Structure 1
């Protein structure tokens, strides 16, 4: 399951080191190519809202295979696309069907025992995070060696192979909900309304992924131009620094199992915010850029695991729908981050990108303080209402 999540989620990120290459290939400006990153994430957000809830309603193995076959077909079309418009139209389909990874994660949480659920989710998410990080390296290296079309062609083959693997290896899982599809979607909104902790975690996730996307949607432009002038291969290899995020996944899962999720949240939010100070200096210093990437990926991925460990304890019978609510907010944050990041870079350069990312981190820190105040008030009211 860990391998599958990594292999599939990579489909959303192969394009990021290629933005400058595609701009030159199709004689397009940075803004038009940056839209492709946004469309992939927008498609993913739509899939989270409409397809992931089916994990509570239908047999999960069948759902996974159906999604992955569709994703493989979309990648094949991207590999053969004659125009940027074709890539843009199919990007939505690839994003939509790549939500298979968010069917796998709650499936793993369901199969795990309660006492080790955090570590199991952390292990599966380690694969997902490595997929995100290695995707940029694989994409850059392949594009440099054999051309950008092979990146999407090989991704199509790997995704189809994952579909076969999951069909053969995963157990059959009976649905946990009995209701109509419209009622299922409506129940997602009720979960958001009823679960205050879920709402807070949605905001943390959205802010963190917005910051992450602000940087990675524009890093290709920075590194391909003065003072760096890096090739696709060099840009892809640079992304390996983000492997710190996979280390954070296991660490964050263990912290959640031991009951330290609250303070871990603050620490990871701080890492995201501080990272943009180093990234600002990274406009002219590769060392500062490396430090910023390490802090950013550590904070974003650690916060993601902490959030998921917390929300999966809320409603064990509705984990797919809780995943839908949380991850929809998460990727809408990422979509906004990508769009605003590209716009900031085009209008005002690298400094604007870093300010925007830092603001996203500061918003998350503010929400953490609000949550602490609300919890303290609730505890005081509960103590005052208790019989003496």
Structure 2
């Protein structure tokens, strides 16, 4: 008994000192970013993939949807293990599995294979959500916003670059090439993580079944968790509805651009990525709920600009900038709210939050491509704006319910 009690503080001390080293935090940020980036490579490539397999917009629109559904399923069934098993080994194994899924995607001979491999790719792309709750657990509550903001800046930069890189690489080498490159990066990161991070065993003795059952208990017992998860799901649905249809908008009049330009639009959001650590500090200073309100106001403003003046390139760029900034602010703010709820349950809290988030994203991808097929750009903008209005209602309703309790 005593030896077990002594080992936990030792591991915690080693991990805390490890997190103080900038090179390790940089490695973790890169790993988080590149693992999540795999989910987004297909968005600027949808038109190219559709032409490659000679399929319709509705059919190819299911590829990012399936990827995000796979991601949500992986979050549900794999991320809770972060509260139970040795974390370094789990992260390394997932990186190798991710490399295999990327190779399978690159080798896809038809749309059926691509659909299955895209789901598996999403399922294995959850490495960031093993790392971030682990780091949050080792960080003081007063500094969690700053730390999570720093890691999320790596995620956001990678996601933005993923869209740009996949668009450029796809235009030059074909859409499969980006998946080969990404597979090589996952293998390199697996060896780097194994050589850099210490062994980190969990003291939680719950069985896997008990872990999964506890997810339901957390949802029922934590109203803030329900509110934050639903809020970010609605925002992410609006965000994805825009991004999966942007390439079709840019190929249409008056732009006539291709996948390369659609990918480069991801770089517009780099300002939001740079601002993410600052957003984390504002969360620590002003409170997460206040920042969520600001994020909703900014995102609604962004869609008004895109909808009304979307035929002008400068307006489209400004709208994308506002949307990315709002999405990052809402994501970090809601995530901090969730991590502060129950000590030693960060991975499970993150599971509920992220499964809801990416389920919303998958729904947004599906509804976005459907809206484009039926009503073109006006349909996409109306859909996204409506989703954000519902998110605002959820946010204000949560505030009113707390005031009544007081």
TM class, shorter-length = over 0.9
The alpha carbon displacement at 1:135 in A equals 0.3
Partner of 1:177 in structure 2? 204
Give yes or no for the alignment of 1:43 onto 2:67: no
2:273 corresponds to 1:246: yes
Q: Aligned-pair distance for 1:236?
A: 1.4
Q: What residue in structure 2 maps to residue 141 of structure 1?
A: 168
- Equivalent residue for 1:188? 215
* 3-state SS of 1:140 partner: helix
Deviation at 1:292, TM superposition (A): 0.9
CA–CA separation in structure 2 for the residues paired with 1:274 and 1:136: 23
3-state SS, counterpart of residue 12 of structure 1: coil
Task: Provide, for residues 344-363 of structure 1, a one-character-per-residue CA deviation record: whole Å limited to 9, x for no partner.
Answer: 00011100100111111111
Deviations along 1:260-293, whole A, 9 cap, x unmatched?
2222111101111221111113541111111110
On the 8 A contact 1:5/1:101 being kept in 2, the answer is yes
Instruction: Report Cα offsets for 1:277-336 as digits up to 9, x if no partner.
Output: 111135411111111101111111111000111111111210000000100100011011
Q: Which residue of 2 aligns with 1:201?
A: 228
Please give the secondary structure, in 2, of the residue aligned with 1:62: helix
8 A Cα contact 1:201 1:307, kept in partner? yes
Rounded Cα–Cα distance in structure 1 between residues aligned with 2:309 and 2:180 = 33
Inter-partner Cα distance in structure 2 for 1:52 and 1:282: 41
Distance 1:115 1:68 in 2: 31
Aligned with 2:115 (options 88, 91, 97): 88
Matching residue of 1:5? 32
Q: Secondary structure, in 3 states, of the residue corresponding to 1:335? A: helix
Alpha-carbon deviation of 1:182? 1.1
Deviation, 1:247, is 2.9
Q: Which residue of 2 aligns with 1:105?
A: 132
The DSSP-based 3-state class of the residue aligned with 2:257 is: coil
Task: Give the match for residue 62 of structure 1.
Answer: 89
Alignment partners' CA distance in 2, 1:188 and 1:267: 29
CA distance in 2, matches of 1:252, 1:203: 21
Which position in structure 1 is the counterpart of 2:360?
333
Please tell me whether residue 124 in structure 1 is matched to residue 156 in structure 2: no
What is the deviation of 1:77? 1.4
| 3-state SS of 1:173 partner | coil
Provide the TM-score with structure 1 as the length reference. 0.95
CA distance in 1: counterparts of 2:298 and 2:312, whole angstroms: 20
Which has the larger displacement, 163-172 or 24-33?
163-172
Residue 72 in structure 1 maps to residue 99 in structure 2: yes
User: Could you say which residue in structure 1 is the equivalent of 2:180?
Assistant: 153
Mapped contact 1:202–1:327 kept (Cα < 8 A): yes
Q: How does 1:350-369 map to 2 (within 5 A)?
A: 350-369=377-396
Of residues 342-351 and 173-182 in structure 1, the stretch that sits farther from structure 2 once superposed is: 173-182
Deviations along 1:22-57, one digit per CA (max 9) or x if unpaired, are 111111111111100000000000011110000001
Query: Which residue, 293, 307, 323 being the options, matches 1:296?
Result: 323
CA root-mean-square deviation? 1.2
Which shows bigger deviation, 269-278 or 127-136? Answer: 269-278
Distance 1:79 1:239 in 2: 22
**Residue in structure 2 matched with residue 385 of structure 1 by the alignment:** none
For structure 1, list consecutive stretches of 5 or more residues without a partner in the other structure.
380-388
d(CA) in 2 for partners of 1:225, 1:259: 43
What's the CA shift string for 1:160-214, capped at 9, x where partnerless? 1111111111222221421111111010110111111111101111111111111
Which residue number corresponds to residue 252 of structure 2? 225
Number of residue pairs the alignment of both structures matches = 379
Name the CA distance, whole Å, in 2 between partners of 1:260 and 1:173: 31
Larger deviation, residues 44-53 vs 59-68: 59-68
Q: 1:165 to 1:282 in 2, by over 3 A?
A: farther
Cα separation, 2, equivalents of 1:82 and 1:227: 34
Of 111-120 and 26-35, more deviation after overlay is shown by 111-120
Instruction: Say which is worse superposed, 29-38 or 157-166, in terms of deviation.
Output: 157-166
SS in 1 for 2:85: coil
